Structure 1
Amino acid sequence: MFHTFQRLTLILTITIISSVAVIPLVSVVRDIKSYSDVNAPGVAFALTPDHGTAAIFFGNGTSVAVARVEGTQAYKGLMLRQNTTFTATDNPSNLKTSVSQLWGLKERFWKQPKTVEDIDKSAVEPVLKGLRAAVEAYLGNSICFVKVAFSPREMNNGYLADIVAGAVRQSGLVEVWAGRPAAPIFALFSKWLDKGDSGLPESLVLVIDKSEYGFQLALIHQEDGWVDVLRHNYHLYTATENITNRASSLQYALEEIIKPPFDYKLYGIQVPQNIKDLLIYCDDTWNPGFRSTLNATLDARLIQGAYQRQPVYAPARGLAENVFHILNNPTSHVRKTATFGCCWKSRGRGCPMDFAGPLG
């Protein structure tokens, strides 16, 4: 089944302050005054099993990776939990919607008994707060909008998506569209940002995310601003897997995802039959065992030409650009959904200028 994404305008869905550390980065572009006073910057967070990252995209076309925030043990426990179910104590549809001002006030001033979902949202909140604090310190003003990507155990892991959405809502931020974006696609968008090619010429790209907790593979078709995930594999390691087992799991998954033929047709046209590019984003990029597995499985040409600039921050950087364009689209409804007083608190800089009124 194909999942089609159009860059910038159409996205169909495939996510310290206390005891965690914030690692700020030196910006590749630090001139924060160069972006348009009319447009609000695009802000994105990307969550992994043990940390979160933040990035900003500005109206002058530049982007910056801002910070990495390490998660608490409670956060890691949630993100690595093998079995999750959504109980009747919360309404999933509520968690997926934009921030409701009245609901937000209700949650802040009328505390309800703790449920499993409340506890899980509390586990995510310190990372979100740390990322938000780093972004606001960088910009010099508060923010109102964000989008969060993460790598779930399955692309349709509704429980974790609902928990992240609820935690974002409780933090007072609005997500700029419903649904949960997949990290591999936005890692590819970060390459487009750097290369300026927008998926041209048409090709197949193998995207790899590898960490000490597992791996995520995606075979993506790209062409002129469109991407389609043709194959996908996400695997979290278990306690019973030793180093040899983990290497074997990754090698087998790689062999399966690159195995021809690529019998897919998009709009009646056969996709290319050769993988042209390799993109690696992870915090385990230079692990010798990982490199050995790549050498044993992939063509040397792919490995030598692999794109891996700012690999830890790639999904957040690519997502931030999409946030910017959707948020600043004059026809976007989300522009009017900032929490009460947020635009005013941000001195108008956290919202597009035409909706930065005193009560916006």
Structure 2
Amino acid sequence: MWSRNASRGSNMKWPLLYSMFLMLFFCCSRVSSSGTAEYGVGFNLALDYGTASIWYANGTVVDVVKLDGGSAYKQLMRSASAEPYKPILPAEPTRGLLGSMFLQGHLPSWTAAEIVDHDAEAITWMLKGLKGATEAYVEGRLTDVRISSPFHVPYQGWLDNALRTSVESLDLRYLGPRRGSTTISGIYGLEGQCHPDPYATPDQRESDDPPKMYLALDYSSAGLSVALVDEDCGIVEALREFRNATLGAGSDFPGKREDMTRQLTHLMRPIDKWYPEIGDYKVSVEISELVLLGESTEDALLHEVLLEVFGSNYENLKFRSDKRAKLHHPLFAGSRAVAQGCQRQLEYELTWEWNEQFKWWVPKTNQTGQQMWWWPFKRSS
């Protein structure tokens, strides 16, 4: 294991530098003496509530809290679910303490108007609650967290920007959001293994796990989010998804069951795939696994719809889904998955660091100050 403190000065300055290092190193977990990240923290932001979980290095998981969101938070998440790609609006300046905006250039700085991002403000209250509850449990300060949501958050879109602003306002490092339907594949054992060793002889070659598709449903009183997910050699991709705030467990209207059945059936229509020497080809969707997430996974109407959609295969899918639910409760599966990802990233960062020259992660230096490379670090000119 390479030392994290190598090449940080002389032995005389060691205590001071070590203290500074502990203060400045971005870490949402305590680091044990063995050089492992003790725990990682994950938050899941659902349509009308949020959850927080802690994933420890030994595999132990603690579900800290579930918080119901306020009206501004619920309105924001519904808007994000319905319009993930809406244009980014400039933040709104508030009126200064001493009058209109045109006077601000002639007034002291302490009277200046503040820029308010209402989207970030709505999220901040939820994140404050989740962060405070987690810090109370670990009896320490958090500086990193991973976040998941039931739907895709476009990179540098309006919600991504609001999340970044909110997270950084709480002195947390922003690691980007994750889609719950795909990030749960790790904790649920849905990631296959492949062994692409070109030098292995036939008797040495291990068989690869077959690719599979699974259907992930996040169901709560606020709405239904469904994703058709493809997994191959540990690579997970959402092929299709739909979200509907009117089909949540909290709504009841004539024709709801038919609407849910129609939406799920349409989602699982044949997909287009490209094969060498064949070209585009329609592939029927065969669901290998069913993943249920959220607070309303036991809803009777939901299971009536699933029985109608899957037919005779429903009982097998439900049996395996129930086994996974006993291991990781559907309500906290999203926050658990990103907490595991947070812990793994922190552990990775103990031995790897970002290199601006190569724009890539490289091994940290060992105790002699040399990097652990099997090829030259710098190319000779």
| Higher gyration radius (CA) | 2
Closer, same or farther: CA 58–229 of 1 in aligned 2, 3 Å: same
| Match of residue 19 from structure 1 | none
Closer, same or farther: CA 210–114 of 1 in aligned 2, 3 Å: same
Report percent identity of matched pairs: 23
User: Could you tell me whether the CA contact under 8 Å between 1:41 and 1:56 is conserved in 2?
Assistant: yes
Counterpart check, 1:305 vs 2:320: yes
| Match of residue 72 from structure 2 | 74
| Match of residue 233 from structure 1 | 242
Map 1:148-297 to 2 at 5 A. 148-152=147-151, 158-176=157-175, 179-192=176-189, 200-237=209-246, 242-259=252-269, 261-265=270-274, 273-297=285-309
| Match of residue 9 from structure 2 | none
| Match of residue 333 from structure 2 | 314
C-alpha distance in 2, partners of 1:226/1:326? Answer: 18
C-alpha distance in 2, partners of 1:326/1:279? Answer: 25
C-alpha distance in 1, partners of 2:296/2:33? Answer: 34
Closer, same or farther: CA 120–110 of 1 in aligned 2, 3 Å: farther
Match of 2:89 among 87, 90, 96: 87
User: Could you tell me whether the CA contact under 8 Å between 1:34 and 1:60 is conserved in 2?
Assistant: no
C-alpha distance in 2, partners of 1:148/1:128? Answer: 10
C-alpha distance in 1, partners of 2:43/2:34? Answer: 22
User: Could you tell me whether the CA contact under 8 Å between 1:86 and 1:159 is conserved in 2?
Assistant: yes
| Match of residue 328 from structure 1 | 347
User: Could you tell me whether the CA contact under 8 Å between 2:146 and 2:341 is conserved in 1?
Assistant: no
| Match of residue 113 from structure 1 | 114
Instruction: Report the 3-state secondary structure (helix = DSSP H, G, I; strand = E; otherwise coil) of the residue aligned with 1:181.
Output: strand
CA deviations on 1:189-229 (whole Å, 9 max, x unpaired) are 2212xx89779553111111111222111111223322122
CA deviations on 1:23-45 (whole Å, 9 max, x unpaired) are xxxxxxxxx99995642522111
| Match of residue 94 from structure 1 | none
Q: CA deviation at 1:129?
A: 1.2
Q: CA deviation at 1:89?
A: 3.1
Closer, same or farther: CA 242–38 of 1 in aligned 2, 3 Å: closer
Q: How many residues align?
A: 278
Amino acid at match of 2:303: R
- Structure 2, unmatched stretches of 5+, are 1-29, 93-109, 195-208, 356-365, 367-381
Amino acid at match of 1:219: L
CA deviations on 1:265-299 (whole Å, 9 max, x unpaired) are 58999988521111101111111111211111123
User: Could you tell me whether the CA contact under 8 Å between 1:187 and 1:281 is conserved in 2?
Assistant: no
- Structure 1, unmatched stretches of 5+, are 1-31, 91-108, 335-353, 355-360
Instruction: Report the 3-state secondary structure (helix = DSSP H, G, I; strand = E; otherwise coil) of the residue aligned with 2:230.
Output: strand
User: Could you tell me whether the CA contact under 8 Å between 1:186 and 1:316 is conserved in 2?
Assistant: no
Instruction: Report the 3-state secondary structure (helix = DSSP H, G, I; strand = E; otherwise coil) of the residue aligned with 1:80.
Output: helix
| Match of residue 15 from structure 1 | none
RMSD, aligned CA: 3.5
User: Could you tell me whether the CA contact under 8 Å between 1:42 and 1:324 is conserved in 2?
Assistant: yes
| Match of residue 139 from structure 1 | 138
Q: CA deviation at 1:86?
A: 1.9
TM-score, normalisation: structure 1: 0.67
Higher relative contact order at CA 8 Å, sep ≥6: structure 1 or structure 2?
1
Closer, same or farther: CA 131–293 of 1 in aligned 2, 3 Å: same
Closer, same or farther: CA 34–266 of 1 in aligned 2, 3 Å: farther
Amino acid at match of 1:113: E
C-alpha distance in 2, partners of 1:75/1:145? Answer: 22
CA deviations on 1:95-134 (whole Å, 9 max, x unpaired) are xxxxxxxxxxxxxx9974354xx23222211211111122
Instruction: Report the 3-state secondary structure (helix = DSSP H, G, I; strand = E; otherwise coil) of the residue aligned with 1:133.
Output: helix
User: Could you tell me whether the CA contact under 8 Å between 1:186 and 1:317 is conserved in 2?
Assistant: no
C-alpha distance in 1, partners of 2:72/2:148? Answer: 19
Q: CA deviation at 1:255?
A: 0.3
Amino acid at match of 2:114: P
CA deviations on 1:36-73 (whole Å, 9 max, x unpaired) are 56425221111011111111222223333221111112
Closer, same or farther: CA 305–40 of 1 in aligned 2, 3 Å: closer
Amino acid at match of 1:235: N
